[in-house]
């Protein structure tokens, strides 16, 4: 087999691969992937899904595509025989910068599962030139630079398809780019990305600054342009409308080509609205259908039958609402339709809080989605329950039949096969390879919980993965870590509700305990990966606190042999693939009720980490799957939290004063030691925030967190075999969290896709 592959690669390189450069090999492999993926493009019959999303955090594609197309082993072997390494070649590939965090990664996992399950489902989004910023640290502070990831080797191909889009009364052309999405032993679907030919990267000035008014040049430069001023907020609306208008035209064109007469659009298309960024697709489709001589009432019905909405958050500040004059400026053509939809919504209910346009002339995007789509889903059982009972209770009362839950999932191709080949091989040797397409087969691993050889093997694999991460950290950031230590990892976007500050307070506490002569049961390496939104001041202060503490520890040999704090720069999918397989303890410590689902939690579980977490999001379902002995749960329940918010009587200062350990840790933020490496303004602001505000109730959970984490450390130190057994149970029970299961549920309950 590998000989045929060698010949094939020689052909594609037009030379002997022994003498080819990594760049030449990279381009040859792209061609190989392209040829093979084209062979599994199928025509569509029946309903096809369009998954519209502002983000697709797809990660590097080459290895994943080779795995999905069944080429990986042959390619690896052929390259090895020629003295080449696939890992080195992969270095040539920039990671696509088309997403930000969980929501975008979910969209990427869903595309993989759709193609794997042989379902017709394409993505629709924007082709950002720089996407999310690149993060680096200077003086313990996050610094943002543009991520110029779009090189000529980028796999998204320009097409001749352009759609006219009118922004603030001026016409622009949206060009379609296509990126093939390969399924594992499945079909090839497409990620459709739109862009404007006139966008100009040279308008970017210092850092990631640019003139926000010049739409023709800046429209698709960045994902989530800074919206702390009005021009930034307007730019977001320009982007959103550009995406949905071009997307809606694509849907109509493709369906018409398959014989749709628009009256029966819902038989040809299902549109999933991923959070509120694409909400304007609803009025836009109605507008376009009316241009095809369909009257308003019928158009509303067609669009309602076609569209479905996924809610990703209950954080009030994240539910998009725009002053109506913004929409008057950017999309005057939509306002008459949004007004009619608002009037229709008001005719259905007397509850003013469910209006699309409220008394203050603010337009609520989520409200439009719920009134005028046929399905609203939350992303974990607890989240959906909170939507029904509190956050969206009024809507649930009006439309109980629309509400449903779809617990998130992750694709095991990337988050096991690709990122953890040793564990994949071990699983395969025990239970065969059926789990790659049917994740529930992982349960067969439960037969090995008493098998010492298997448990020892799992520990060895974990150790190897820790060594690989250590080598990577040394190479990337010049940091040496102790691989005999226990690795705990908290990697996710930086946000106060995710509570990296709680972990910071624990680490300060641990530092002070060691200084006081209380040696921990095991050395700890605490690893973070997180980007903060550029305008989110407290989030950046938390990063500063962590980086400063890291230096305090590093410069104290008495402590540094017991604990290390490592902050990975520029957390992205590639970093996640290195970090997650090396983790012993997964930190999922959001304030209960605030994390809609989380998907990081699932990736860590699948890769043999135990979870230290609150009863929040999908942690609840993880704890039910593995049982209380195989997870470390702590902290307030979501009911208690919701209660405390309703009562409005939380006072952080009382907690600060009542607990001497907590007070000592918070006071340390502005201690002489911290100030010798850190900046007083940042540290003082963080300290004040914790004492005087602490909106996400870090302080009430501090003590329980310390106790539970120290318990996990003691358990880890006491009995490696038992720890390993518990990681095996976590892996075995991870099958439910495959995005294949999630997509099957969406298809059965919402989409009913064709072939
Ligand atoms: C999975 C993933 C996330 C989401 O993590 P959560 O812990 O669910 O917030 C964010 N960023 C990257 C790069 C990921 O791979």
State how far the Cα of 260 lies from the Cα of 44, in Å rounded to an integer: 13
State how far the Cα of 603 lies from the Cα of 412, in Å rounded to an integer: 9
Active site annotation includes 599: yes
Report helix, strand or coil for 568. Answer: strand
Distant-in-sequence, close-in-space partners of 184: CB < 8 Å, separation ≥ 6: 67, 68, 112, 115, 116, 413, 436, 437
Q: Give yes or no for a contact between 51 and 60, defined as CB atoms under 8 angstroms apart.
A: no
Radius of gyration (C-alpha) of the chain in whole angstroms? 26
CA pseudo-torsion sign 576, 406, 70, 122 = negative
Helix ranges (DSSP H) in 14-96:
22-38, 62-68, 72-81, 86-90
Distance of CA 1 to the CA centre of its chain: 37
576: Cβ below 6 Å to ligand 1?
yes
Give the mean pLDDT of 357-380. Answer: 98
96: Cβ below 6 Å to ligand 1?
no
Structure confidence at residue 318 (pLDDT):
79
- Whose CA is closest to atom 10 on ligand 1? 101
Structure confidence at residue 3 (pLDDT):
85
State how far the Cα of 75 lies from the Cα of 67, in Å rounded to an integer: 10
Indicate whether 429 pLDDT > 90: yes
pLDDT tens, residue by residue, 503-560: 999 999 999 999 999 999 999 999 999 999 999 999 999 999 999 999 999 999 999 9
312: Cβ below 6 Å to ligand 1?
no
Percent pLDDT > 90 in the chain is 97
120: Cβ below 6 Å to ligand 1?
no
Of 90, 212, 224, 200, give the one whose Cα is nearest residue 148: 200
Indicate whether 1 pLDDT > 80: no
Average pLDDT, the chain: 97
Residue 394 CB burial class (10 angstroms; 0-12, 13-18, ≥19): middle
Residue 228 pLDDT grade (very low, low, confident, very high; cuts 50, 70, 90): confident
State how far the Cα of 531 lies from the Cα of 494, in Å rounded to an integer: 6
Give the mean pLDDT of 596-614. Answer: 98
Q: Give yes or no for a contact between 472 and 461, defined as CB atoms under 8 angstroms apart.
A: no
pLDDT tens, residue by residue, 59-94: 999 999 999 999 999 999 999 999 999 999 999 899
Which contacts (CB < 8 Å, 24+ apart) does range 463-469 have? Answer: 464/422, 465/420, 465/422, 465/423, 465/581, 465/582, 466/582, 468/578, 468/581, 468/582, 469/578, 469/579, 469/581, 469/582
Q: Report how far ligand 1's centroid is from the alpha carbon of 604 (Å).
A: 10
Q: Give yes or no for a contact between 224 and 128, defined as CB atoms under 8 angstroms apart.
A: no
59: Cβ below 6 Å to ligand 1?
no
Q: Report how far ligand 1's centroid is from the alpha carbon of 493 (Å).
A: 7
Q: Report how far ligand 1's centroid is from the alpha carbon of 492 (Å).
A: 5
Of 716, 712, 717, 728, give the one whose Cα is nearest residue 453: 728
Active site annotation includes 492: yes
pLDDT tens, residue by residue, 149-187: 998 667 789 999 999 999 999 999 999 999 999 999 999
Q: Give yes or no for a contact between 433 and 73, defined as CB atoms under 8 angstroms apart.
A: no
Atom of ligand 1 nearest to the CA of 573: 13
pLDDT tens, residue by residue, 16-32: 999 999 999 999 999 99
Give the mean pLDDT of 411-426. Answer: 98
Indicate whether 568 pLDDT > 80: yes
How far is the CA of 439 from the CAs of 412, 425, 479, 742, in angstroms?
Answer: 8, 15, 36, 12
Atom of ligand 1 nearest to the CA of 597: 8
Active site annotation includes 603: yes
Q: Report how far ligand 1's centroid is from the alpha carbon of 170 (Å).
A: 38
pLDDT tens, residue by residue, 269-324: 999 999 999 999 999 999 999 999 999 999 999 999 999 999 999 887 778 999 99
The pair of structure tokens assigned to 452 is: 């010492």
State how far the Cα of 85 lies from the Cα of 92, in Å rounded to an integer: 12
- For a ligand 1 pocket test, name from 491, 500, 578 the mutation site with the most ligand atoms within 8 angstroms of its C-beta: 491
User: Tokens 């990986």 — which residue?
Assistant: 72
Q: How far apart are the first and last CA of the chain?
A: 32
The pTM of this model reads 0.98
- Whose CA is closest to atom 9 on ligand 1? 492
Q: How many C-beta atoms surround the C-beta of residue 22 within 10 A?
A: 15
499: Cβ below 6 Å to ligand 1?
no
600: Cβ below 6 Å to ligand 1?
yes
State how far the Cα of 124 lies from the Cα of 130, in Å rounded to an integer: 18
Which contacts (CB < 8 Å, 24+ apart) does range 381-387 have? Answer: 381/405, 381/407, 381/620, 381/621, 382/593, 382/615, 382/616, 382/617, 382/620, 382/638, 383/311, 383/314, 383/596, 383/597, 383/617, 386/314, 386/593, 386/638, 386/642, 387/311, 387/314
State how far the Cα of 711 lies from the Cα of 516, in Å rounded to an integer: 19
What are residue 744's phi and psi, to 5 degrees?
-60, -40
Domains of the chain, CATH where assigned: 1-36+62-94 (no CATH), 40-60+96-137+156-408+742-751 (3.40.50.2000), 413-427+440-737 (3.40.50.2000)
Atom of ligand 1 nearest to the CA of 603: 1
Of 306, 213, 361, 270, give the one whose Cα is nearest residue 49: 270
611: Cβ below 6 Å to ligand 1?
no
- Whose CA is closest to atom 11 on ligand 1? 101
635: Cβ below 6 Å to ligand 1?
no
pLDDT tens, residue by residue, 454-490: 999 999 999 999 999 999 999 999 999 999 999 999 9
495: Cβ below 6 Å to ligand 1?
no
Of 455, 405, 404, give the one whose Cα is nearest residue 620: 405
DSSP string, 440-506: GGGGGGGGGTT-HHHHHHHHHHHHHHHHHHHHHHHHHH-----TTSEEEEEES---GGGTHHHHHHH
Active site annotation includes 483: no
Atom of ligand 1 nearest to the CA of 602: 8
Catalytic one of 48, 105, 212, 312? 312
Structure confidence at residue 317 (pLDDT):
77
State how far the Cα of 746 lies from the Cα of 405, in Å rounded to an integer: 9
Helix ranges (DSSP H) in 349-451:
365-371, 381-386, 393-398, 412, 421-431
Q: Give yes or no for a contact between 175 and 196, defined as CB atoms under 8 angstroms apart.
A: yes
């Amino acid at each position: 087999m590998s000989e045929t592959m060698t010949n094939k690669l020689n052909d594609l390189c037009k030379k002997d691969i022994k003498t080819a450069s990594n760049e030449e090999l990279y381009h040859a492999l792209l061609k190989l992937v392209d040829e093979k993926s084209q062979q599994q493009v199928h025509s569509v019959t029946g309903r096809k899904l369009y998954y519209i999303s502002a983000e697709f955090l797809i990660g590097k594609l080459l290895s994943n595509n080779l795995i999905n197309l069944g080429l990986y082993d042959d390619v690896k072997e052929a390259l090895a025989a020629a003295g080449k390494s696939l890992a080195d070649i992969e270095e040539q590939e920039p990671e696509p910068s088309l997403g930000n965090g969980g929501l975008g990664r979910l969209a990427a996992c869903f595309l993989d599962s759709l193609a794997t399950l042989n379902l017709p489902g394409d993505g629709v989004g924007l082709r950002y030139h720089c996407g999310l910023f690149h993060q680096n640290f200077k003086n313990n502070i996050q610094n943002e630079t543009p991520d110029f990831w779009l090189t000529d080797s980028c796999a998204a191909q320009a097409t001749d398809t352009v759609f006219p889009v009118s922004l603030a009364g001026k016409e622009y052309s949206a060009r379609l780019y296509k990126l093939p999405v390969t399924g594992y032993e499945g079909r090839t679907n497409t990620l459709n990305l739109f862009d404007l030919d006139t966008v100009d990267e040279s308008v970017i000035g210092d850092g990631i600054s640019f003139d926000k008014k010049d739409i023709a040049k800046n429209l698709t430069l960045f994902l989530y342009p800074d919206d702390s001023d009005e021009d930034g907020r307007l730019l977001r609306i320009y982007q959103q409308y550009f995406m949905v208008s071009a997307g809606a035209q694509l849907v109509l064109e493709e369906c018409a080509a398959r014989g749709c007469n628009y009256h029966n659009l819902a038989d040809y298309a299902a549109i999933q609205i991923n959070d509120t960024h694409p909400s304007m697709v609803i009025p836009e489709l109605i507008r376009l259908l009316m241009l095809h001589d369909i009257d308003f009432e019928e158009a509303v019905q067609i669009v309602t039958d076609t569209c479905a909405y996924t809610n990703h958050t209950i954080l009030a500040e994240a539910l998009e609402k725009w002053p109506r004059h913004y929409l008057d400026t950017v999309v005057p053509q939509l306002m008459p339709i949004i007004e009619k939809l608002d009037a229709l919504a008001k005719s259905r209910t007397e509850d003013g809080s469910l209006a699309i346009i409220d008394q203050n002339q603010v337009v609520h995007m989520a409200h439009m989605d719920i009134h005028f789509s046929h399905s609203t889903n939350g992303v974990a059982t607890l989240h959906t329950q909170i939507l029904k009972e509190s956050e969206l209770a009024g809507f649930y009362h009006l439309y109980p039949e629309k509400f449903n839950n779809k617990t998130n999932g992750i694709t095991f191709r990337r988050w096991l096969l690709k990122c953890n080949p040793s564990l994949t091989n071990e699983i395969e040797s025990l239970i065969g390879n059926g789990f790659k397409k049917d994740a529930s087969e992982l349960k067969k691993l439960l037969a090995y919980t008493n098998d010492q050889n298997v448990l020892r093997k799992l520990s060895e694999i974990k150790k190897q993965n820790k060594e690989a991460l250590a080598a990577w950290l040394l190479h990337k950031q010049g940091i040496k870590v102790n691989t005999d230590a226990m690795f705990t990892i908290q990697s996710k976007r930086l946000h106060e509700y995710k509570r990296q500050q709680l972990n910071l307070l624990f680490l300060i506490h641990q530092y002070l305990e060691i200084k006081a002569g209380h040696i921990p049961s095991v050395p700890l390496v605490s690893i973070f990966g997180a980007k903060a939104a550029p305008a989110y001041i407290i989030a950046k202060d938390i990063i500063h606190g962590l980086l400063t503490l890291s230096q305090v520890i590093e410069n104290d040999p008495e402590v540094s042999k017991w604990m290390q704090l490592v902050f990975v720069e520029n957390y992205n999918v590639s970093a996640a693939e290195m970090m997650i397989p090396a983790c012993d303890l997964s930190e999922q410590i959001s304030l209960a009720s605030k994390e809609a689902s989380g998907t990081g939690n699932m990736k860590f579980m699948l890769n043999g980490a135990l979870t230290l977490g609150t009863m929040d999001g999908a942690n609840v379902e993880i704890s039910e799957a593995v049982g209380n002995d195989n997870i470390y749960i702590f902290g307030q329940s979501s009911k208690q939290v919701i209660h405390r918010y309703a009562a409005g009587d939380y006072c952080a200062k009382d907690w600060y004063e009542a607990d001497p350990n907590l007070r000592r840790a918070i006071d340390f933020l502005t201690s002489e030691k911290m100030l010798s490496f850190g900046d007083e303004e940042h540290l003082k602001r963080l300290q004040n925030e914790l004492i005087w505000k602490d909106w996400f109730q870090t302080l009430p959970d501090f003590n329980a967190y310390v106790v539970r984490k120290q318990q996990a450390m003691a358990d880890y130190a006491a009995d490696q075999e038992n720890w390993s057994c518990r990681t095996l149970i976590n892996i075995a029970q991870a099958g439910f969290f495959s995005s294949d299961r999630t997509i099957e549920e969406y298809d059965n309950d919402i989409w009913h896709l064709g072939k």
